[in-house]
Amino acid sequence: MTGIGEAVRAYLPGLALLAGGAVAATLVADAVPGLQPLVVAVGIGVGLGNTVGIPEIAEPGVSADKLFLETGIVLLGAAVAVEEFLAAGPTVLGLVVAVVAGGLLFAEVVARGLFRIGSPTSSLLAAGASICGVSAVVAIGRVLDARGTAITFAAATILLFDAATLVAFPLAGEWLGLTGRQFGVWAGVSMFSTGPVAAAGFAYSPEAGQWATVTKLARNSLLGGVAVAYSLAYAARSAADPGVRRLWAEFPKFLLGFLAVAAVANSGLLSPAALASIGRVSDALFALAFVGLGLSIRVDDMRAVGAAPVGAVLVHLLAVSAVALAAVRWLL
């Protein structure tokens, strides 16, 4: 037994753990009216991760959660009505670019000026809060040659806000009476990491989930450009690493898959039954991913985060989400 057999054996316990959590989430959500299975999946993951923890044997399989999330997003392309998204596209894209650019500058000013956080930690926090959470922290950290401790510190801060906003945004959306599209775009431009954005969107409504994911994908696609901008600003990169290569290296490739599936689905090649089946596979992958997302949220790690980064990111989040809220209410 080598190769595929060994790999399957290594991944099986973790996959079984994710699948068990996803099945349990579906059963609980079916039994309790009003509960969203994806939210229950995150809750089960948080509960398990912070009580019994992840057994060592299950770690490889559990680490596949982000692959399931990204594959689920690729398949979500089959559920989007391209005409509707194209109609709102320029508005949403303009909002995304404005919020990312403005948010980055604002976060840098707040972190350095108000909370006296030095660089590159200020830039790691700004990138994490403005683009795509922990993956942006890691990508920009790599570009700026940041120390491992600075990256860990910034990533833990972002994770803390991922957990808090995952609960707070759907509640705020209900309270504010936002439509599914308004909430999805609002969460997509304001929240941090892709998993919690999608989870919060689907917790609100299926329509909100689609808009949140598409908006977040547009935001993620700016990571390469931001990485190039940071590397030029810090002048910390070698000449052998050209900007175009960096742009492509940081581009989320699964976004191409999402676009391809959306094109195939909207061309009429797939029957309604096939589209429904792909939707079910996407839902199942999201459920697996959200159990894994919950397992990755560790309360103990978040206690170790310092007050200054929490303050800086909180000021950024409040300001950006307030501006974004006004914009989505006005424009959508």
Partner 1 sequence: MASNRDDGIASDGPATGAGLVDRWTALDRGWQALALGLGIVAAHLVGQAL
Query: What six digits make up the tokens of 303?
Result: 């206690």
Is there binding between residue 267 and partner 1 (CB under 8 A)?
A: no
- Tell me which residues in 277-306 interact with partner 1 (CB under 8 A): 277-278, 281
Q: How far apart are CA 290 and CA 73, in angstroms?
A: 13
- How many Å is the Cα radius of gyration of the chain? 20
The span from the CA of 62 to the CA of 288, in Å, is 9
- How many Cα neighbours within 13 Å face the side chain of 181? 15
Nearer to partner 1, 2 or 149 (CB): 2
Neighbours of 285 (CB within 10 A): 22
Q: Please report whether residue 27 would count as binding partner 1 according to CB under 8 A.
A: no
User: Interaction with partner 1 in 192-231: which residues (CB under 8 A)?
Assistant: none
Residue from the set 253, 268, 303, 330 that interacts with partner 1 by CB under 8 A? 253
Binding residue (CB under 8 A) for partner 1 from 16, 105, 233, 256: 256
Q: Which is nearer to partner 1, 160 or 255 (CB)?
A: 255
Q: Is 66 or 298 the residue whose CB approaches partner 1 more closely?
A: 66
Which one of the spans 46-54, 114-122, 138-146, 246-254 is the region binding partner 1 (CB under 8 A)?
246-254
Please state the closest distance from residue 282 (CB atom) to partner 1, in A.
9
The Cα-based distances of 244 to 122, 132, 220, 225, 271 in angstroms read 25, 20, 16, 9, 39
Residue 244 sits in the site that holds partner 1 (CB under 8 A): no
Q: Rule CB under 8 A: say whether 235 interacts with partner 1.
A: no
Query: Do 192 and 185 meet the contact criterion of CB atoms below 8 Å apart?
Result: no
Which of 49, 53, 79, 62 is CA-nearest to residue 17? 62
What are the C-alpha distances in Å from 73 to residues 47, 244, 281, 303, 312? 25, 25, 11, 31, 31
Told to check if 271 binds partner 1 by CB under 8 A, we report: yes
Q: Which stretch binds partner 1 (CB under 8 A): 19-27, 102-110, 180-188, 268-276?
A: 268-276
Residue 260 contacts partner 1 per CB under 8 A:
yes
Residue showing tokens 């700016």: 222
- Asked if 139 interacts with partner 1 (CB under 8 A), we say no
Q: Cβ(26)–Cβ(37) under 8 Å?
A: yes
Residue number, 4 or 240, with CB nearest to partner 1: 4
CA 286 to each of CA 75, 214, 265: distance values in angstroms, whole numbers, following the listed order: 10, 15, 19
User: Contacts with partner 1 in 60-79 (CB under 8 A)?
Assistant: 66-67, 70-71, 73-75, 77-78
Per CB under 8 A, residues contacting partner 1 are: 1-7, 66-67, 70-71, 73-75, 77-78, 251-258, 260-261, 264, 269-271, 273-274, 277-278, 281
